[in-house]
Amino acid sequence: MIDRYELNRRFPRSAKYTDEWICEGGMGSNPLWQTEWLCERLDLKPGMRVLDLGCGRAKSSVFLAREFGVEVWATDLWIAATENWRRIRDAGLEDRVVPLHCDARALPFAAEFFDAIVAVDCYSYFGTDDLYLNYLVQFVKPGGPIGIAGAGLIQEIDGELPEHLRTFWTQDVWALHSANWWRRHWERTKLLEITTTDTMDDGWKLWSCWHRLAWPDNVSEIAAVEEDAGRNLGYFRVVGRRRDDIKLESYAWPDTMRSFPEQYEKKPMLRAGE
């Protein structure tokens, strides 16, 4: 078990928030630890527009807005926007966090609207599609970062699952991959310049620590993580910046939100003298 002093030292921003608030309606990993770790490599500035993709119950969105002064679009498929709006209002962030209920595969945003995109402990569930990055990258400005972090593998598992992971390994866990897998998955498209690919030091200990605190009844996962002891399971992060010299293929992803072809042509708005 990692003691509170060590946790506060590693995650000083997250230490400001109560365990009760973080655990409320929780959905797995500690979202603040993951977000703080990811933001070490994002260089966020006040006033930037950030898409928090798969935000869950918007804890990461509140954290981003409070800690970095950015404007956040808190987007999730499973959690209603109205529920997250209540959390946002209670945090006093009505002017900086916008909740949306929508699918990561059908996003209602303008191209190049965001300065940065983050996805915390969720990207594995939709981003493994070979064509998804070509879709997502259109929403960030050239040079802007896309960063993902969450539960994953230390290295890919070849062959049969280790015996100690079998009771924990439900069908959704097949979506987990290693940081190097994600690097290859992104790098081959040449859409991003990859700037970070790594795993968290002793990530399995933090995984176990948080579940013992927040979800002590999840005995099968805790047992699997602790017996694995970092051989296969841990936390990963990958960050890449959108290249501006690569053409996106509009036909590569059937976007149900796509409108008529763009026809805008700038015209004088006001009459002379107005």
What pLDDT score was predicted for residue 265? 83
What pLDDT score was predicted for residue 26? 76
What pLDDT score was predicted for residue 266? 83
Low-confidence ranges of the chain (pLDDT < 70): 1, 254, 256-261
What pLDDT score was predicted for residue 260? 63
Distance CA 259, CA 18 (A): 43
Domains and CATH numbers, the chain: 4-252 (3.40.50.150)
What pLDDT score was predicted for residue 44? 98
Distance CA 222, CA 261 (A): 51
**Amino acid letter, 158:** D
What pLDDT score was predicted for residue 164? 95
Distance CA 129, CA 162 (A): 26
